[in-house]
Chains A and B, each alone.
Chain A
Amino acid sequence: MEHTNEERLKKEFQDMVKKSAPSSNFLKDCLAAFVVGGFICVIGQFVMNFFIGLGIPKEDVGYYVATIMVFLGAFLTGLGVYDNIGKFAGAGSIVPITGFSNSIVAPAMEFKREGFVFGVGAKMFVIAGPVLVYGISSSVIVGIIYYIINLFK
């Protein structure tokens, strides 16, 4: 009896918390994410067009875009600007590859005080590591499946 009463109290409280929690400014967040995310891609497009203009083959231009965008993300993180963009833009600056870069550079800088091997070297991947693990693993699975399907063609 005592026990069920406690469960009921907990349930009641959790409902209370849900009701009391101020909601984030959803529309503003969405607009900021859309505009900033879109704008970062426009910069990417500019870089892409620039290298195509230099005569880089179309299939290689992606390397250039990735490198430059990663550099920009890293540099803005180093300057201490990217976290302010992120505060405003949310997913708008997390989802582009510049955000991937930010997620590597931020812990690398932060853990410098713990040394360059176990600080910078190891902590670099605390956020980005899982991205590589899941991205690369799933692409290997895709490759294996593709290979098996081709065997039966």
Chain B
Amino acid sequence: MDYLRAFIVGGTICLIGQILMDKTNLTPARILVSFVTAGVILGAIGIYEPIVEYGKAGATVPLPGFGYSLAKGTIKEVEKYGLIGAFTGGIKATSAGIAAAIFFGYLMAIIFNPKAKS
């Protein structure tokens, strides 16, 4: 059941991205930026939470989920530590993803060379 929900929720979020790409000429970079920002906003006003509860990985793996984690982490830290939490919370909550991307990015660059497309 988890899997079916993850498939449908995750697929739908990607489908929205595809519609934006085909119909509005938004470049992939702009899609990523808007999806993360949308995730932050939807997370902050409490709309993304129920989507995560329903879709689990289907909602956390796509980039709005990254934004949702940023918002959720920030709010949690503000509650705990006050204003400084606005600066510490977001990155703490997403630290694994960011550090992994930087580290593995570097590692792959050492190991592999780009290949020409055919």
Direct contact of A and B (CB under 8 A): yes
A interface with B by C-beta (< 8 Å): 24, 26, 29-30, 32-42, 44-49, 62-67, 69-71, 74-75, 77-80, 83, 89-92, 94-101, 103-106, 108-110, 112, 120-121, 124, 127-128, 130-132, 134-136, 138-140, 142-147, 150
- CB neighbours of A94 from chain B (8 A): 14, 17, 28, 31-32
Rounded to whole Å, the gap between the CB of B76 and the closest CB of chain A is 10
B interface with A by C-beta (< 8 Å): 2-3, 6-22, 28-29, 31-33, 35-37, 39-41, 43-44, 55-58, 60-63, 65-67, 69-71, 73-75, 77-79, 82-83, 85-87, 89-91, 93-98, 100-102, 104-115, 117
- CB neighbours of B2 from chain A (8 A): 45, 49
Is A37 a contact partner of B65 (Cβ separation < 8 A)?
A: no
Bound-state Cα–Cα, A32 to B19, Å: 12
Q: Please judge, given known A-B contacts A95-B13, A138-B40, A139-B71, whether A108 and B109 are in contact too, CB under 8 Å.
A: yes
**Which of B39, B71, B74: most chain A Cβ within 10 A?**
B74
Rounded to whole Å, the gap between the CB of A112 and the closest CB of chain B is 5
Rounded to whole Å, the gap between the CB of B47 and the closest CB of chain A is 13
Q: Please judge, given known A-B contacts A41-B6, A45-B6, A70-B97, whether A140 and B87 are in contact too, CB under 8 Å.
A: yes
Rounded to whole Å, the gap between the CB of A140 and the closest CB of chain B is 5
Is A66 a contact partner of B97 (Cβ separation < 8 A)?
A: yes
With A65-B61, A70-B101, A99-B28 known, 5 other A-B pairs at CB within 8 A are A29-B18, A33-B17, A37-B15, A139-B71, A139-B73
Q: At the interface, is chain B mostly helix, strand, loop or mixed?
A: helix
Task: List 25 A-B residue pairs with CB atoms under 8 Å apart, sorted by A's residue number.
Answer: A38-B10, A40-B61, A42-B7, A46-B3, A67-B97, A71-B104, A74-B105, A74-B108, A75-B108, A95-B14, A101-B100, A108-B105, A108-B109, A109-B114, A110-B114, A112-B113, A124-B109, A128-B101, A135-B67, A136-B70, A138-B70, A138-B71, A140-B90, A142-B44, A143-B85
Q: Please judge, given known A-B contacts A33-B17, A41-B6, A134-B33, whether A74 and B104 are in contact too, CB under 8 Å.
A: yes
Q: At the interface, is chain A mostly helix, strand, loop or mixed?
A: helix
Is B6 a contact partner of A105 (Cβ separation < 8 A)?
A: no
- The residue that B10 contacts in the complex, of A44, A106, A110, with Cβ under 8 A, is A44
- CB neighbours of B31 from chain A (8 A): 91, 94-95
- CB neighbours of B3 from chain A (8 A): 42, 45-46
Q: Please judge, given known A-B contacts A37-B13, A65-B57, A131-B36, whether A112 and B109 are in contact too, CB under 8 Å.
A: yes
Is A146 a contact partner of B44 (Cβ separation < 8 A)?
A: yes
- The residue that B56 contacts in the complex, of A45, A103, A135, with Cβ under 8 A, is A45
